[in-house]
């Protein structure tokens, strides 16, 4: 609930609207978009204590995942990932799995598709920003994908439709417990 409220506040600030005036619709596979926002695109993901919101002028997807010990990453990578990515997960373990999974999910979200449609995407490029192209399959591409620097045990990625480079500017939204604001009037906001 907090992640969705924060997204509404951040999106409203970007669009110059009150948070309650931000209206959402859904695409074919459920991807949310903002009504009457022109070429404004956003994506939201949350896991554990972290939520990410990506805003862009072209279709964007963001994903964050908290590593879970009970998740059988070998079974999942054998079932869904291309051969070289399965081998990478076997060698490098949970960090590699999280990096690959979040890259795939970010691309799927940017395309507005279903997660199963993107599991075969080859995303194991070592570049800071990798261009991902679907060799076959139902999702259009290409996407430019970048890993995000997050706290330990979290993996995250952002992807934009198209192969043009992009910059990630990072802002932290934080919630302050409901107490009286101090003399400077600090309540909630972006830092």
Q: Is the dihedral of CA 55, 109, 168, 189 positive or negative?
A: positive
User: Domains along the chain?
Assistant: 2-190 (3.90.470.20)
3-state secondary structure of 61: strand
The DSSP code for 107 is H
Residues in the chain: 191
Q: Which two tokens stand for residue 130?
A: 């990798």
Cis peptide before 44 (omega within 30 of 0): no
Cα separation, 151 vs 68, in Å, equals: 14
Position 46 scores a pLDDT of: 94
pLDDT of residue 2: 84
At 55, the pLDDT band (50, 70, 90 cuts) reads very high
What is the pTM (predicted TM-score) of this model? 0.85
Q: How confident is the model at residue 30 (pLDDT cuts 50, 70, 90)?
A: confident
Taking each helix axis from N to C end, the angle separating 94-111 and 73-80, rounded to the nearest 10 degrees, works out to 50
């Amino acid at each position: 609930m907090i992640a969705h409220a924060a997204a509404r506040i951040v999106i409203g600030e970007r669009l110059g609207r009150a948070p309650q005036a931000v209206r959402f619709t859904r695409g074919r596979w459920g991807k949310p978009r903002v009504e009457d926002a022109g070429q404004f695109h956003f994506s939201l993901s949350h896991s554990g204590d972290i939520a990410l919101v990506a805003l862009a002028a072209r279709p964007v997807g963001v994903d964050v995942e908290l590593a879970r010990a009970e998740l059988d990453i070998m079974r999942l990578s054998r079932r869904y990932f291309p051969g070289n990515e399965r081998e990478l997960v076997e060698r490098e373990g949970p960090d590699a799995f999280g990096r690959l999974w979040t890259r795939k999910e970010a691309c799927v979200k940017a395309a507005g598709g279903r997660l199963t449609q993107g599991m075969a995407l080859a995303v194991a490029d070592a570049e800071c920003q990798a261009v991902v192209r679907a060799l076959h399959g139902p999702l259009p591409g290409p996407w430019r994908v970048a890993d995000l620097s997050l706290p330990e045990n979290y993996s995250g990625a952002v992807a934009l439709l198209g192969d043009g480079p992009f910059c990630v500017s990072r802002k932290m939204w934080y919630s302050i417990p409901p107490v009286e604001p101090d003399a400077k009037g600090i309540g909630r906001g972006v830092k």
